[in-house]
Structure 1
Amino acid sequence: MNSPQAIAYLYSLQTRGMKFGLRGIRILLKHLGNPETQFPSIHVAGSNGKGSTAALLAASLTAAGYRTGLYTSPHLVSFHERIRIDGKPILERQIPEYVRLLRPIIEELRTTFFEAVTALAFRYFADEKVDIAVVETGLGGRLDATNVLNPVVSVLTTVSLEHTQILGNSLAAIAYEKAGIIKRGIPCVSGVTAHPAREVIHRTCHSRRSRLIETAGGRAEVGRSDLTGSTASFVLGKKGLRDVKIGLAGAFQVSNAFVALATLWELGHRGFNVTEADIRRGFARVTALTGFRGRLTVARRRPLTIVDVAHNPAAVRQLVQAIHDARLENLTIVFGVMGDKAFRSMIGILADIAGRAIAVQPLTERARSAETIAAAFRARKVPVAVGPTVREGMMIAGRAAGKRGIVLVTGSHFVVGEALAFMERKNYLTINQ
């Protein structure tokens, strides 16, 4: 079995759908010697910002000299992006080794794709003797396969309406699912600001005797912000840090940086020594140290092409504000979305910056049709063409924008992934999770 065959096998597990609950992953991990207990971890959940926050944490820990695992999902172009140590993806040759180890147990237990990949990541981190791993939830928190961890800190970034058919149709219901990662006696850092969600988090922390650190109780001031990043100053209690460069575009990343900073300060009470210099280096060089991309990332210069994985109305609002801040206008927007997303609301927000739109349908079976998306743009009086594929949409957008125009690709991780693969001339395998 070579690497493509091993990854194809893992992808085949998608036909088993998604499973919410911890029984299967616990049995699987027990067969593997419970690797999740063999390294300290930081567990990150949230509707938006968890990928950025996880990357900022991992970059700072790597800068401090800690061998740092990073587990995120979904990937953009390559499966290997999901599992990294000190920014380096798991090696091609290592995937078949772990799939051979896992396959008999996977078949016996009828394990799902996400359970299998999570178990693979945890076994890999344990085998590679990471000093700490930053682990992002897949969906929700309480019943997510990653929630077998007993972390040194739990982190909640934001709560907004998303996956309502699964997580619930109110902020309080969704917060309940996200707060499921909070463990008894383990501190929780939260960037959540919405009142109903904060109440749920407060109650959960109180009942589990978990100390709650909220960035809402501090102050973050944005200095400069453009497509190269931001500078900001932070105060939380008696601690503060001034003029920090954040190497992620968009003023909204300051909130994610604040959550990461509060978490790093909390780690100081848990036996980890991350200095101010480490934090400054990690935040400034987050992309180089982790490989993170996908939020306001400039993927191509001619035409200027920006990719952003915003996939719900809250994230799209942040994106549009960042575009306004950068004084960009009359954009050609390549847009595709999953079937369970509030796409009409997203399109309504994007209409403010759209010169024209290209409606596309990514390869995943979960995608909404390009024709339905096009109709929503027409209802907003935005001129629109139908790709219908991401590849065709990118070619149409390139011609429409010309060398001096601006293309924005957004709506989904899957759309951005296919667009990046097209621009980088790489193969793209369909993924649903």
Structure 2
Amino acid sequence: MFHSIDECTEFIFNLRASTYKGEPLEAVRKILLELDNPHEKVKFIHFAGSNGKGSTLNATREILMQHGLRVGAFISPHLERVNERITINHQQITDAHFLSCANRVDDVIQNQLDGQYPSFFEIMTVIACLYFANANIDIALMETGIGGRIDSTNVITPAVSVITTISLEHIEILGDTIEKIAIEKAGIIKKEKPVVVGVKQLEAKKVIYQKATECQSECYFLNEEIEIESLKKGSPQYFNFSFGNYQMKEIPLAMQGEHQINNAALAIAASLLFDMSIQEATIKKALQKAKWEGRFENVSERIILDGAHNSEGTISLIHTLKEVYPTKKYKFIYAALQDKDHELSIQLMDEVAASMSFTQINLPRATKADVLASKSKHPTIHINDNWQQLIENEMKSLQSDELLIITGSLYFIAEVRKKLVEKVDKYDS
């Protein structure tokens, strides 16, 4: 039994590598069964994808909240504290509720699993389901961790599934081809439940469509059934949207970049499939204020945080930089985990960078700064395994025509954001 939130979170953080040796999802299902299957008492929308699922979930949340619904959300990673992962209408789960749920889960593990704990993410999934089931919410939005088919969140049966994008990631778990990864992501599609898809690759779309057909699920693809037209760039940017009988003109979007228009379109479609009575004015008001920390986030006039954790994300980041800041010089700071295609990401940044700086974070799966730097062919490279010192140095030397772009793993962005927001005003003055 945990006696404090600090004791509880410190313990479960150390469960990232699962010690439970059963089949995938087996432990989660056993625990949920002993808790009277709380996940069966909640309506869900389920989000999977290599990139964009967090932004799409957030846009969906804003739309449904603006519509007057009480909306739970389960996301990852957190930026400052674990409570951020489980929210209702943006309000984080309290320490007391978290501890209460965690102790109920711990009791089941001790008595039914002989003390064999599943992973951190699996326990968080169960805590979220338990909390939502007892919180009188209208809908919960659930984001997968890795993949979909054997992800712990896949115990739910959603009203709508969303698959944002697919790229090569976690290849040791999900497979080494786009088709194999698509199979894993498509695993969240459930029988006779609609799925909204932003995936572009033909081979992935075929896999998803086949799975949807097998499940007798309606499948709606971006740029097919869901049509968009980008209009004015800027902040906000504007776009037109068409989905069946729904036609919306000049929708304002706070988030920057063409990829965020794609995410917003998926969010609109998913929201409408859940509740067809949502009004156009509601959607416009929601998207005009929807923002997502750590995704092309201007923490100051000349410093941007972006969790571009794979090559697809890096392509979107660079495209947005060129759209929004075409005349600036780009100075990148990059840190990544071992399971990403960071070599391609680094090559893409090399092509547009004024300088490349590499660092690392204190995680077992983090790639060493010098290993990352060895993938770069840029003439100006800096290496410092102390990310705080590196950022401090780069901020001090930043010129008026330069942007400092801190990117890579979302875990890196989370660590940086804790410290950086407190400091930037000093260097902007």
TM range (shorter): over 0.9
Specify which of 304, 316, 323 is matched with residue 306 of structure 1: 304
CA distance in 2, matches of 1:33, 1:347: 48
> How big is each residue's C-alpha offset from its partner over 1:203-250, in whole Å with a ceiling of 9 and x where there is no partner?
111111111122221421112233x34211112233211111112111
* Whole-angstrom CA distance in 1 between matches of 2:95 and 2:195: 35
One-letter amino acid matched to 1:133: A
**3-state secondary structure, aligned to 1:252:** helix
Say if 2:355 and 2:378, in contact at 8 Å, map to a contact too. no
Tell me the CA shift for residue 78 of structure 1.
1.9
Task: Note the 1:328-343 alignment, pairs <5 A.
Answer: 328-343=327-342
Which residue in the other structure is 1:372 paired with? 371
8 Å Cα contact 1:229-1:250 kept in structure 2: no
Matched with 2:427 is none
Q: Which runs of 5+ in 1 are unaligned?
A: 427-433
Kept after mapping to 2: 8 A contact 1:57/1:260: yes
Cα deviation digits, residues 73-112 of structure 1 (max 9, x gap): 1122221211111011112332222222222223434221
Preserved CA contact (<8 Å) 1:186 1:210: yes
Cα distance, 1:254 vs. partner? 0.6
Alignment of 1:400 onto 2:403? no
What secondary structure sits across from 1:266 in the alignment? helix
User: Corresponding residue for 1:6?
Assistant: 8
User: 2:95 maps to what in 1?
Assistant: 92
Is the Cα–Cα contact under 8 Å of residues 299 and 307 in structure 1 kept in the other structure? yes
Deviations 1:308-347, CA, capped at 9 Å, x for gaps: 0011111100100100111153222110011121111101
| Structure 2 CA distance for partners of 1:17 and 1:325, relative to 1, 3 Å | farther
Distance 1:11 1:309 in 2: 21
Report the CA distance shift for 1:103/1:382 in structure 2 as closer, same or farther (over 3 A).
farther
Q: Which moved more, 1:385-394 or 1:117-126?
A: 385-394
Classify 1:8/1:328 alpha carbon distance in 2 versus 1 (closer, same or farther; 3 Å): farther
Match of 1:431 in 2: none
The Cα shift of 1:170 comes to 1.3
Give the aligned partner of residue 18 of structure 2: 16
CA distance in 2, matches of 1:253, 1:222: 11
Aligned to 1:215: 222
Task: Identify which range, 318-327 or 346-355, moves more after superposition.
Answer: 346-355
* Greater Cα shift, 76-85 or 148-157: 76-85
Does the alignment pair 1:103 with 2:106? yes
Secondary structure of 2:392's counterpart equals: helix
SS at match of 2:95: coil
- The amino acid across from 2:394 in the alignment is A
The correspondence of residues 187-226 of structure 1 with structure 2, limited to 5 A, is 187-217=194-224, 218-226=226-234
User: 1:170–1:131: structure 2 CA closer, same or farther, 3 Å change rule?
Assistant: same
AA aligned opposite 2:346: I
Q: Where does 1:267-282 land on structure 2 (aligned, <5 Å)?
A: 267-268=274-275, 273-282=277-286
Over the matched positions of the two proteins, sequence identity in percent amounts to 29
Which TM-score applies when normalising by structure 1?
0.91
Alignment correspondent of 1:294: 294
Which stretch of the first structure deviates more once superposed, 229-238 or 412-421? 229-238
In the alignment, structure 1 residue 360 sits paired with structure 2 residue 359: yes
Which range is displaced more, 381-390 or 258-267? 381-390
Q: 1:325 maps to which residue?
A: 323
SS for the counterpart of 2:232 is strand
**Deviates most, 149-158 or 276-285:** 276-285
Distance in structure 2 (CA, Å) of the matches to 1:374 and 1:17: 34
Indicate the residue corresponding to 1:421 in structure 2.
418
d(CA) in 2 for partners of 1:172, 1:186: 22
Unaligned segments of structure 2, at least 5 residues: 424-429
The SS at the match of 2:233 is strand
Asked if the contact 1:229/1:248 (under 8 Å) is kept, the reply is yes
CA distance in 2, matches of 1:284, 1:80: 26
Give CA deviations for 1:395-428 in whole Å, capped at 9, x if unaligned: 12212315663210101101111111111459xx
